[in-house]
Amino acid sequence: EDQVTQSPEALRLQEGESSSLNCSYTVSGLRGLFWYRQDPGKGPEFLFTLYSAGEEKEKERLKATLTKKESFLHITAPKPEDSATYLCAVQAHFGDGNKLVFGAGTILRVKS
Amino acid sequence: SAVISQKPSRDICQRGTSLTIQCQVDSQVTMMFWYRQQPGQSLTLIATANQGSEATYESGFVIDKFPISRPNLTFSTLTVSNMSPEDSSIYLCSAATGSTDTQYFGPGTRLTVL
């Protein structure tokens, strides 16, 4: 069964204090790994898709990386507006390839 | 990217009643999905809404409880039937233009059942 585990559950940072969020996954052939951001009371907002080990993608202060077993979301010099829940999801090649399996998320709070 | 709207944004319902949630996409999409997000938890896929055929339900979800329609390539509905307080949740619609494409999400419908 495909599984996604995110850590830590919650993270508090000072503004400017860089850190990383982890997403460990078990999947029967990875088709894609997705990162989303979710603000309270809103739907998930797409950030990145990673398809193969070694791939990296960047957007502003965020950088996502992928290995064969996990993905990291690196946040460089975060600002209070980066506070949100960050969700990781995997899509498998085999079986129902359209399905996304989500992790529980990491709640990030950035204080000024 | 697709822009997705949902109606209603929130509702408070009585036990035993049903609520239909609408999902509208601003462009034609291949795939549409319905998810549930229970308080403090992550997203769980309820079903894939198939255009012109019956929805494909995930384990633990059944058509009698969550009937889904998808009459065309831009619109879908999810009905939560015979509701109980355990159905209180956020219901989210998503859409993708292909089987390997990114899923974009609507804003969600926050349902409270009393």
User: In this predicted model, what pLDDT tens digit does every residue of A43-85 receive, in sequence order?
Assistant: 999 999 999 999 999 999 999 999 999 999 999 999 999 999 9
Residues in chain A with CB shorter than 8 Å from the CB of B105 are 36, 43-46
Dist CA B83 CA A59 (whole Å): 42
Identity of the residue in B43, B48, B106 whose CB atom sits nearest the CB atom of A102: B43
- Total CB pairs under 8 A between chain A and B: 54
Q: Which of A30, A100, A106, A107 to mutate to test the interface with B (most CBs of B within 10 A)?
A: A100
Angle made by CA atoms A73, A75, A78, in degrees to the nearest 5: 150
Q: How many CB atoms within 10 Å of residue A36?
A: 24
User: Structure tokens of B18?
Assistant: 């049903």
Residue A48, min C-alpha distance to chain B (Å): 9
pLDDT in tens, chain B (114 residues): 789 999 999 999 999 999 999 999 999 988 899 999 998 888 999 999 988 888 999 999 999 999 999 999 999 999 999 999 999 999 999 999 865 578 999 999 999 999
Residues in chain A with CB shorter than 8 Å from the CB of B106 are 43
Dist CA A99 CA A91 (whole Å): 6
Phi-psi map region of B16: left, alpha, beta (phi>0 left; psi -120 to 50 alpha): left
Cis amide prior to B8 (ω within 30 degrees): yes
Report the residue of chain B nearest A33, measured CA to CA: B102
Nearest CA to B48 among B78, B20, B19? B78
Identity of the residue in B100, B107, B108 whose CB atom sits nearest the CB atom of A32: B100
